[in-house]
Structure 1
Amino acid sequence: MKPTKTIHIALGSNKGNKLQYLQSAIDAIFERIGAVKKISKVYKTPAFGFEGDDFFNACITVETELRPKSVLKLLQEIELKLGRAAKTTSGYESREIDLDILFFEDEILEEKNLIIPHPQLQHRTFVLQPLLDIAKDFKHPVLNTSIEALLGQCVDNSEIEHVNIWLKNPRKVYTFNNYNYLAIEGNIGAGKTSLANKISKDFNAKLILERFADNPFLPKFYKEPERYAFTLEMSFLADRYQQISDDLSQLDLFKDFMVSDYDVNKSLIFSKVTLPEDEFRLYRKLFYQVYKDIAKPDLYVYLYQNTERLQANIKKRGRNYEKDIKDDYLEKINTGYLEFLKSQPDMNVKIIDVSDKDFVKHRADYLWLLGEINESSVSSKQ
């Protein structure tokens, strides 16, 4: 996964339905740029530097995987889509929507069309006041001064008034309120860890990741599967039990729910493929003894990817011990998952085909996937 950056964006409008322009801009930023983490109050201020209607101003905090120039380009596209016309004068003028990058984490950038931090923000009350709502202690990376201190030092005495209207966070369209424990499953290379990471970050969930990389038998199994299959599955049986029982028993009062990139039943699914019949029967007895009291997920999401896409993803992540995984092994694992899920009528399961999606690279695909999961949440409430 790409690293995310926390950025702050200023929004302003003084034409038409100003509140709707602000809301539409936030919705578009969420769809195209990244998760909206915080939204300030809305403030009414007089036009600055020209005669015109009062502005509605706000600031938002966004987490994005994009670089500054890409964010700037998308903000300009959003402005145009919302009706902002090209400037007719060299000075300030009325506009349907105005979107400015204030900070890009602590980056300092000075180019022809983009300066970060925004060079005028410390002189503008209509920027500093809403920014104070969401980033009070953030320090200007050039001035080394907090937003609170910058507002106290600002000589702009323009009248500013809080408007008793609240902008909505589009993230709330996607709800996980019906779940305490969400499991993301899939074949090797399906993207379950990436999705669990993204959901955890965007929706304040406790993240539970399988510690498969620490298993010393995994590389050996891929080289000599018949020799190391039982040893590998037994080690996973013990490791998964220890991890999931620890993680599920430790409540985090500051998180809204738990999301994991595996379900303990994968031990049964993989062992049925890798072990001879007699060893599998023994393994299954041990499995049910070990896991009889482990909590089941409230929703089990299975990400289906076709074999071609799985192999492409495996190659892309470049783990040396996975390079010789055969198509037929992946197909057996997929069949094993689907057969298992069909045999679990009491489990809340959502199978989602993501073979033609790239939810790691394309935000639109990620939001589509959230919508599919959210549809399950709504259905389970009815």
Structure 2
Amino acid sequence: MNNITTTYIALGSNKGNKLDSLEEAVLEIYKTIGDVTQVSKVYKTPAWGFEGEDFLNVVIEVKTRFSAEITLKKLLAIELKLGRTRIKDKGYQARTIDLDILFYGEEIITTETLEVPHPKLTERNFVLYPLADLVPNLVHPLLNQDILYLVKSSKDVSPIKAISDRIQPKKAEFRQVNYLTIEGNIGSGKTSLAEMIAEDFNGKLILERFKDNPFLPKFYEDQARFAFPLEMSFLADRHQQLMDDISQLDLFSDFAISDYNPNKSLIFSKVTLQEDEYALYKKIFNIMYSEVPKPDVYVYLYQNIESLLSNIKKRGREYEQNISPEYLKNIHNGYLNFFNSQNKIDVKIIDISDLDFVAHREDYLFLLEKISEINIKASG
């Protein structure tokens, strides 16, 4: 999963209802690329390079997880959706919408389809003025000059006038709670979703430390022999981590979010342990976790077995490649049995079998909405 990058995108329109086209483009960029965190004033300028109606121009700041190349593809798709038509070899043309990447982080990109920073931005007041509204001190990585200097030294003498500040930023919303848990079967994507929500909404991220467990590869080779030491080691490690992280919440974080819950130990051990082993394990669990804070909201990401197996194969952990469909089915049933036995935990089961919230922002926004619909039940 990519980290968030700040990109600046120029929007222009000189055909149809121009202001509406700009607003629609901002909305589409929010829905498909990332949060629109800043929007400049709208500027009116004459057509550039051809005879036509005046343009309305705006620059926006966008936080995205997509690469510059994928961002460009999504921008071109938005242009097409909003009615832009390109006539090959005709040069500059009137358009309902024009979308250009100006900067993408501090990257310098030169390919057949994309050049960043935009090679013409220093020559165009309709780009420089709105950029200066947002980031006057941003330094051009090739010229080593800030935007304010580029505005003052611009040779573009075409008239430019600020006419509106109607277009507003558009950022994802999420109803936070003190402690949120994202759970799911092996390969369901729970860790990726927890990481994304924590990064976007200033959450304290608590991830399961399964990668460091020495018994896990051995368990997948010989479950009968290594099930009990594996579950006991997970039990101790999860307890220590939760006591350290949740009991002492970071004052600089708004909430805690984890990709596991202590009850996962009971769910998995019920599947992997013999009856007498499980009875002993449950006694120890009840003693250790009696004082551990409980999540306010418990989200379970459901994926069908075929999707889980595909995800497991794609992420390529060698010790997971022989996990059987039957084992995944038993784990899922264990979760359902646990949920059905609870009346004090606010659980939201979301089917994500047809979703890809990493590749498609629309799916991610859908999940944020579904999670935010949860009504926290009163404890006690």
TM-score, normalized by length of structure 2? 0.87
Letter in 2 for 1:42: K
Q: Deviations over 1:96-143 (max 9, x none)?
A: 322111123333333455322111212333323332444444432221
After TM superposition, the structure 1 stretch with the greater mean CA deviation from structure 2, 143-152 or 282-291, is 143-152
| Mapped contact 1:35–1:202 kept (Cα < 8 A) | no
| Mapped contact 2:23–2:167 kept (Cα < 8 A) | no
Corresponding position of 1:24? 24
Question: Shift of the alpha carbon at 1:51?
Answer: 6.1
User: Which one of the candidate residues 322, 325, 328 is aligned to 2:323?
Assistant: 325
Distance across 2 between alignment mates of 1:268 and 1:58: 52
User: Which one of the candidate residues 299, 310, 313 is aligned to 1:312?
Assistant: 310
| Mapped contact 1:44–1:55 kept (Cα < 8 A) | yes
Q: Deviations over 1:197-230 (max 9, x none)?
A: 2222333333221111011121122222222222
Corresponding position of 1:275? 273
Superposition pairs of residues 343-354 of structure 1, within 5 angstroms: 343-354=341-352
Letter in 2 for 1:185: E
Q: Deviations over 1:120-177 (max 9, x none)?
A: 21233332333244444443222123334433443446444363424140x33xx322
| 2:249 equivalent to 1:248 | no
Question: Shift of the alpha carbon at 1:301?
Answer: 0.8
Question: Shift of the alpha carbon at 1:178?
Answer: 4.1
Pairs aligned (count): 374
Corresponding position of 1:39? 38
Corresponding position of 2:13? 13
After TM superposition, the structure 1 stretch with the greater mean CA deviation from structure 2, 238-247 or 196-205, is 196-205
| Mapped contact 2:2–2:65 kept (Cα < 8 A) | no
User: Which one of the candidate residues 297, 300, 322 is aligned to 1:299?
Assistant: 297
Corresponding position of 2:214? 216
Distance across 1 between alignment mates of 2:89 and 2:251: 54
Q: Deviations over 1:169-202 (max 9, x none)?
A: 0x33xx3224222211011111111111222233
Letter in 1 for 2:115: I
Corresponding position of 1:60? 61
Distance across 2 between alignment mates of 1:51 and 1:319: 58
| Mapped contact 1:180–1:257 kept (Cα < 8 A) | yes
Question: Shift of the alpha carbon at 1:85?
Answer: 3.9
Corresponding position of 1:187? 185
Q: Deviations over 1:81-107 (max 9, x none)?
A: 223344699565553322111123333
Question: Shift of the alpha carbon at 1:362?
Answer: 3.5
Q: Deviations over 1:283-322 (max 9, x none)?
A: 2222222222222222211111222221221111111111
| 2:117 equivalent to 1:117 | yes
| Mapped contact 2:121–2:128 kept (Cα < 8 A) | yes
C-alpha RMSD of matched pairs (Å):
2.8
- What SS class does the counterpart of residue 180 from structure 2 fall into? strand
Letter in 2 for 1:38: T
Letter in 1 for 2:45: P
| Mapped contact 1:136–1:147 kept (Cα < 8 A) | yes
Distance across 2 between alignment mates of 1:295 and 1:272: 22
Q: Deviations over 1:324-355 (max 9, x none)?
A: 22222211111111100111112111111222
| 2:370 equivalent to 1:372 | yes
- What SS class does the counterpart of residue 249 from structure 1 fall into? coil
Question: Shift of the alpha carbon at 1:380?
Answer: 5.1
In structure 2, the CA distance between the partners of 1:164 and 1:354, relative to structure 1 (3 Å rule), is closer
Structure 1: segments with no counterpart, 5+ residues: none
Distance across 1 between alignment mates of 2:253 and 2:16: 40
Distance across 2 between alignment mates of 1:182 and 1:132: 39
- What SS class does the counterpart of residue 258 from structure 1 fall into? strand
| Mapped contact 2:138–2:146 kept (Cα < 8 A) | yes
Letter in 2 for 1:28: E
In structure 2, the CA distance between the partners of 1:207 and 1:138, relative to structure 1 (3 Å rule), is farther
Letter in 1 for 2:208: E
| Mapped contact 1:10–1:60 kept (Cα < 8 A) | no
| Mapped contact 1:131–1:147 kept (Cα < 8 A) | yes
| 2:151 equivalent to 1:151 | yes
Distance across 2 between alignment mates of 1:152 and 1:253: 43
Runs of 4+ more than 6 Å apart: none
Question: Shift of the alpha carbon at 1:16?
Answer: 4.2
After TM superposition, the structure 1 stretch with the greater mean CA deviation from structure 2, 87-96 or 192-201, is 87-96
Letter in 2 for 1:361: A
| Mapped contact 1:52–1:93 kept (Cα < 8 A) | no
| Mapped contact 1:126–1:160 kept (Cα < 8 A) | no
Letter in 2 for 1:64: R
Letter in 2 for 1:161: A
